[in-house]
Amino acid sequence: MSKITILSEINNKKPFIEDLPKINHKEFDKVIKSRRSVRVFTNDIIPKDIIKKSLDNSLKAPTSSNLQTWEIYWIKSKNIKKKVVEACLSQPAAKTAKELFVFVSRPDHWKRNNQMMLDYLNEKKNPSVSVLKYYNKITKLAYNQGFMNIFGFLKKLYVSFVGLYRVIPREPTSFNDMKVWSQKTTALACQNFMLSMRAYGFDTCPMEGFDSFRLKRILKLPNKAQICMVIGAGKRDPNGVYGKQFRFDNKLFIKEV
């Protein structure tokens, strides 16, 4: 397996400078602090442009290898919405939501997206050789698990042995690892979406209390697709938040080592 120099080398051959806007951190803190899981929404509509902007913002989340193995289903049909609410165990957060979104991980889309990335790079005048190599070789080695996971298994043996002597990326070596890989990316899109909605004055509730089998059937998704979260959104009802936000002591979770 070739050494992944693209990850260890600093690229100063073609610097790309992006303007950094001034940010009011107090406004950001307000968004973070006021985001709550809202279980009851009012009947107020969410303007379409706010939804579109928030969906757009969700897809600005970081994504592993920039392979974007996510999908978002904005449930517009009344009939499908009714079925999705049922699949969400008729939770109030789904039942009263003005809009429902299903965030889906698509680990099975990595190959398609990898090819789209190569097409995009090859259309450029001077594509970076190391980036091309990354999508031509590294991602294919990393994310291919082969027929019946045989290639994944061989990779696992290889990394276990070579890893005794040098630093080596170890996962993914199975479709289960691929699910975790893709879910991480999709969960970040969920968080961007929820924060964006809050910033525009609306609220959300993430849900994993659902029947994934039925939900996949309703959305005509294949077996390999994974539902990450269903997110209900709308205007917060005064009774929509069930209590003060509670977290255990930070010291339990933040380790300075």
The strand pair at 99-105 and 70-75 is best described as: antiparallel
Is residue 29 a contact residue for ligand FMN (CB under 6 A)?
Answer: no
Supply the minimum distance, in Å, between the C-beta of residue 144 and ligand FMN.
29
Residue 147 DSSP label: G
What stretches of the chain adopt beta strand conformation (E)?
Answer: 70-75, 99-105, 203-207, 226-234
Output 142 or 188, the one with its CB closest to ligand FMN.
Answer: 188
Position of minimal CB gap to ligand FMN: 209
- Report whether 203 contacts 232 (CB < 8 A): no
Binding residue (CB under 6 A) for ligand FMN from 172, 206, 234, 240: 206
CA distances from 204 to 15, 148, 177 (A): 39, 39, 29
Is residue 229 a contact residue for ligand FMN (CB under 6 A)?
Answer: yes
Is residue 95 a contact residue for ligand FMN (CB under 6 A)?
Answer: no
Binding piece for ligand FMN, criterion CB under 6 A, among 73-81, 152-160, 165-173, 206-214:
206-214
**Which residues, including other chains, have CB under 8 Å from residue 203's CB and lie 6 or more apart?**
35, 36, 38, 41, 197, 233, 234, 235, 236, 240
Binding residue (CB under 6 A) for ligand FMN from 51, 102, 205, 218: 205
Is residue 93 a contact residue for ligand FMN (CB under 6 A)?
Answer: yes
Task: Give the side-chain half-sphere CA count within 13 A for 129.
Answer: 2
Is residue 245 a contact residue for ligand FMN (CB under 6 A)?
Answer: yes
Is residue 191 a contact residue for ligand FMN (CB under 6 A)?
Answer: no
Is residue 36 a contact residue for ligand FMN (CB under 6 A)?
Answer: yes
The phi and psi torsions of 104 (rounded to 5 degrees) equal -120, 135
Is residue 9 a contact residue for ligand FMN (CB under 6 A)?
Answer: no
CA distances from 145 to 90, 173, 178, 191 (A): 38, 6, 9, 29
Output 122 or 245, the one with its CB closest to ligand FMN.
Answer: 245
Output 71 or 211, the one with its CB closest to ligand FMN.
Answer: 211
Measure the CA–CA gap between 4 and 120, rounded to whole angstroms: 21
Interface residue list for ligand FMN (CB under 6 A): 36-37, 39, 91, 93, 205-209, 229, 245
